[in-house]
Amino acid sequence: MLEDLRTLVEIESPSRDLDALAASAEAVATVIENRLGGQAVLIVNEGGTHVHWAGGGEPRVLVLGHHDTVFPLGTLARRPFTVADGRATGPGVFDMLGGLVQAVHGLATLDERDRSGVEILVTADEEVGSFSSRALIEERARACGAVLVFEGAADGGALKTARKGCGAFRVSIAGRASHAGLEPEAGVNALVEAAYQVLDIAALSRPELGTTVTPTVASAGTLENVVPAEATVVVDVRVESAEEKERVEAAFAGLAPHVDGARITVEGSIGRPPMPASAAAELFVLAQQLQPGIDAKAVGGGSDGNFTAALGVPTLDGLGAVGGGAHADHEYVVVDAMAERAQLAAGLVSAIQRAPKA
């Protein structure tokens, strides 16, 4: 597993870098074929190169993951793949190349009968919204009827049984430039309007309902003596319910200017629907039977499991590596936990195969 993990980490795969993603997809396909046989199909589209492998027979379970990472090319030179003190480190080890390796090696322990009906889908654009892969994810999830997502585990190795819906909005403000000293009154100050909007937007949060609305990036102005003619505010949104999704999206659509003459344009949506705990309930029972004492947690981050859960397809997430530091320089995987997680993957697939299909 460590050698396969090294192989994947050392082929950097930043989202939106189509050449890098093509090379990474080739490496993922090779690892799958070497361990499981058969042929992995490369699916190339505007979001990158996705990888699909099928074990034959009637589809029963979809193993879902992604091979794109948030780290730009060159990160590996600064932070090479390393195994030391019981941890594997390097860009993408936890989110989520370690989980991919564990899933493949877990499946490799099964006989051919239990691998029949298994599909693996490894996408190339999860970190940037899954816009090019969502339809394929949903198609294969419906066909298979059960989804195992190999994103990194929650704290302590817990599985992820609920996720918030998430999305981003971009609020663009158009004003009018003027000289800040000679005639400031002739301008329409987009920065002042942005300040009003930030306060209005932040007030949309409902933490008691699990809704967070967080302005994260803002820009405005050109020079210190020019009334700003343009400003933008980018906002991260997380919700736990469909009702809150509708409320927040309607509130963004209804944003109104405070400064006379200012104009507001809003782009974006809550693209990943919430993943309710009910979607994971059936599969989590199987996991508890296989590994008594394993914990479950609801988390704020989204994954492609949000899409499959929203379809009503049973979905269990967080089956990947035990570790931490997703998207950070201290990202790591606990090496001693890798074999146990691979065994859990194999056990879940086998249990799903033997259960009556709904």
Contact 168, 175 (CB under 8 A): no
Find, among 147, 67, 172, the residue nearest to 318 by Cα: 147
For the cut 90, the answer to whether the pLDDT of residue 354 exceeds it is no
| Residue 112: band (very low, low, confident or very high) from pLDDT cuts 50, 70, 90 | confident
Mean pLDDT of 342-357: 92
Mean pLDDT of 64-69: 98
From residue 355, give the alpha-carbon distance in Å to each of 57, 86, 111, 291: 16, 37, 17, 18
| Residue 116: band (very low, low, confident or very high) from pLDDT cuts 50, 70, 90 | very high
| Residue 358: band (very low, low, confident or very high) from pLDDT cuts 50, 70, 90 | low
Alpha-carbon distance of 319 to 64, in angstroms, equals 10
Model pTM score: 0.91
Alpha-carbon distance of 11 to 24, in angstroms, equals 6
Please give the span between the terminal C-alpha atoms of the chain, in angstroms, as a whole number. Answer: 34
**Which residue shows structure tokens 């989590």?**
284
Q: Give the phi and the psi of residue 9 in degrees, each rounded to 5.
A: -65, -35
Mean pLDDT of 278-291: 97
Dihedral sign from CA coordinates of 177, 183, 189, 191:
positive
**Which distant-in-sequence residues (6+ apart) come within 8 Å of 234 by Cβ?**
168, 169, 170, 171, 215, 216, 217, 218
**Residue 344 in 3-state DSSP?**
helix
From residue 63, give the alpha-carbon distance in Å to each of 59, 163, 258, 349: 11, 18, 49, 9
For 98, left (φ over 0), alpha (ψ -120 to 50), or beta? alpha
Q: What percent of the chain has pLDDT over 90?
A: 97
Find, among 128, 121, 131, 118, the residue nearest to 64 by Cα: 121
Find, among 129, 64, 68, 97, the residue nearest to 302 by Cα: 129
Mean pLDDT of 126-151: 97
**Token output for 313:** 């397809």
H helices of the chain, in order, are: 2-9, 18-36, 75-78, 98-108, 112-115, 134-144, 190-202, 242-253, 281-290, 305-310, 338-354
For the cut 90, the answer to whether the pLDDT of residue 320 exceeds it is yes
Mean pLDDT over all residues of the chain?
97
Alpha-carbon distance of 243 to 7, in angstroms, equals 44
For residue 43, the model assigns a pLDDT of 98
Q: What percent of the chain has pLDDT over 70?
A: 99
For residue 47, the model assigns a pLDDT of 97
Mean pLDDT of 173-193: 98
Give 252-283 pLDDT, tens digit per residue.
999 999 999 999 999 999 999 999 999 999 99
Query: Burial, 31: exposed, middle or buried (Cβ in 10 Å; 0-12, 13-18, 19+)?
Result: buried
**Which distant-in-sequence residues (6+ apart) come within 8 Å of 176 by Cβ?**
186, 187, 188, 227, 229, 261
Mean pLDDT of 137-144: 98
For the cut 90, the answer to whether the pLDDT of residue 311 exceeds it is yes
Q: Compute the C-alpha angle 342/316/29, nearest 5°.
A: 50
**Token output for 13:** 């795969």
**Token output for 156:** 């302590």
Alpha-carbon distance of 192 to 260, in angstroms, equals 11
Half-sphere exposure of 40 (CA within 13 A, CB side): 24
Contact 78, 138 (CB under 8 A): no
